[in-house]
Amino acid sequence: MTMEQTLSPFVLDVSDLSVEIDGREGRVIRPARRLSFRVGRGRVVGVIGESGCGKSMTALSILRLLPTAARIAGGQVLFDGVDLLKKTPRQMREIRGRSIGMVLQDPSVSLDPLFTIGDQIDEALAVHGKMPAAERRARAIELLKAVGIPSPADRLEQYPHELSGGMLQRVVAAIAIAWNPALLIADEPTTALDPTIQVQVLDLLRDLRDTLGVSIMIITHDFGVAAYICDDIMVMYAGEVVETGPVRQIFDKPGHPYTRALMQSSSVPEGDGRLPTIDGQPPDLGALPRGCAFAPRCVLATEQCRQEAPPMYALSDIHSAACWRAGEVTP
C-alpha cells in the first residue's frame, strides 16, 4: 500500500474540542464547546458566525496560540493523523508556518513596519530550514510572483507602508505558503478591504488551493464570502457547531434557524432600505442557557428547545444540524 493510499481524506479532524477561560469571581467562560468538524484535503471550509461565537478561538486552539488565561479543556485535534494537543511547544513552533500557515485579517498585525518585505519573507524561510541567502531571495521572488504581486524583486526592498492593503494581504499570503503548508487558516482575510480587493484576495486563496493543493479553513461572518469560495460550511453559535455540510446544500436547505437568519442578514436590504437582522443578543458564554443556546432568539423555539440541548441531526450523509426542528427550516 502506498503512502498516498494510507492518507486520511481529511487533513484536519477535530473531535470534542473545548476551550475554557477563567473569568472574574470564579466564572468560567466557554468560547468553544465540544467542537467536532473536519477539513478535507484540497477543500475550502468556511467557519461562519457572528462576532464572539468562537470562530477565531477555534483557529487559535488548532494552532495552540491561546491567550494566557485560556486553556484547552478536552478533545482531539488530528492534523495529518497526529494529535496537535500532544505536541510540545517546540514541536508546535515547527508546525506553525511550515505545515500550517495563517493569514490574519489585518496585515499590520502580521508585518513589522520597521523591516522590508524581503526581510520578513526571508525570516519566514530562514526560521524553518537551512537555505542559503541567495536561494531564500530567489524563493521570496517566486512567492511574491505566485500571489500575483508585480515586479516582485523590487517589492522585496519596500516597506509595508509603501504597499496597498490588498498588496499587503498578498504578502501575508506569500509568507503563509512559504513552505507549501498542507493547511492554510485565513481569519477574516477580507474584512478590512474594499469590495474589489476582497474579490481579488478570495480569488488568490482559491488559486492557491487549485495550484498548491492546500486545504483552506476560512473564518468569516459573511455568507457571501462563503458562497464565493467555500466547498463546505461550518456554522458556529455561542461556541458550538450548529450546522455543517456542503455549501450548496446549506444554501438550498439550511437545517438550523440560526443559519437561515445569518443568510437573511447577509442578503439584500428590505423594502425600507434596512438589512434584515437577528433579534436579540448572543448569550453570555459564562452563563449559557439551559437548553439550546439559540432558543431565546429563535422564532421556532419550543419548550423542549428551552429545556434540552439538541443533538446533531443528520439531514443527509453529509449535512447535519443541531436543532430539535432540523428539517423544518425553510430557506
Q: Tell whether the model's pLDDT for residue 292 goes beyond 70.
A: yes
Number of Cβ within 10 Å of residue 63's Cβ equals 18
In terms of domains, do 201 and 323 share one? no
Cell 443541531 belongs to 322
Region 155-177: mean pLDDT is 94
Which pLDDT score is estimated for 5? 46
Residues 40 and 161 in one domain: yes
261 and 146 belong to one structural domain: no
Please identify which residue in the block is written with the cell numbers 482575510.
189
**Whether residue 278 sits in one domain with residue 161:** no
Least confident of 5-14, 50-59, 135-144, 170-179: 5-14
Number of domains in the chain: 2
* Structure-model confidence comparison of residues 9 and 105, the more confident one: 9
The confidence score (pLDDT) of residue 6 equals: 58
H-helix or E-strand containing 109? helix 107-110
pLDDT of residue 8: 83
Residue finishing a domain among 201, 230, 259: 230
pLDDT at 4: 46
Least trusted range by pLDDT, from 36-40, 189-193, 217-221, 318-322:
189-193
pLDDT band (50, 70, 90) for residue 3 = very low
Q: What's the rounded Cα separation, in Å, for the pair 308 and 291?
A: 4
Are residues 181 and 73 part of one domain?
yes
Q: What is the pLDDT of residue 1?
A: 39
212 shares a domain with 64: yes
> Is residue 236 included in any domain, yes or no?
no
Q: Is 73 a domain residue?
A: yes
Which pLDDT score is estimated for 133?
93
Looking at the structure, tell me whether residues 175 and 58 fall in a common domain: yes
Please report the pLDDT score of residue 42 as a whole number.
Answer: 95
Average pLDDT over residues 198-203: 91
Q: Domain check: are 99 and 40 in the same one?
A: yes
- Candidates 250, 239, 219; CA nearest to 285 is 239
Residue 30 counted as domain residue:
yes
Query: 237 lies in a domain?
Result: no
Confidence of residue 274 (pLDDT cuts 50, 70, 90): low
222 & 255 share domain: no
239 within domain boundaries: no
**How far are the Cα atoms of 101, 105, 214 from residue 140, in angstroms, in the given order?**
16, 22, 19
- Which of 195, 230, 265 terminates a domain? The answer is 230
pLDDT of residue 275: 64
Which of 230, 263, 294 is the endpoint of a domain? 230
156 domain-assigned: yes
Q: Is residue 235 part of a domain?
A: no
Reported as a single tens digit per residue, the pLDDT across 50-102 is 988 999 999 999 999 999 989 999 999 999 999 999 999 999 999 998 999 99
Tell me what the pLDDT averaged over the chain comes to. Answer: 91
Q: Are residues 155 and 256 in the same domain?
A: no
User: Do 254 and 209 share a structural domain?
Assistant: no
Please tell me which residue, 240 or 4, carries the higher pLDDT value: 240
- With bands split at pLDDT 50, 70 and 90, how would you rate the model's confidence at 2? very low
Return the percent helix, strand and coil in the chain, to nearest 5. Answer: 35, 25, 40
- Residue 241 in any domain: the answer is no
Residues 263 and 159 in one domain: no
**Domain containing 268: what range?**
247-331
Residue 52's domain is classified under what CATH number? 3.40.50.300
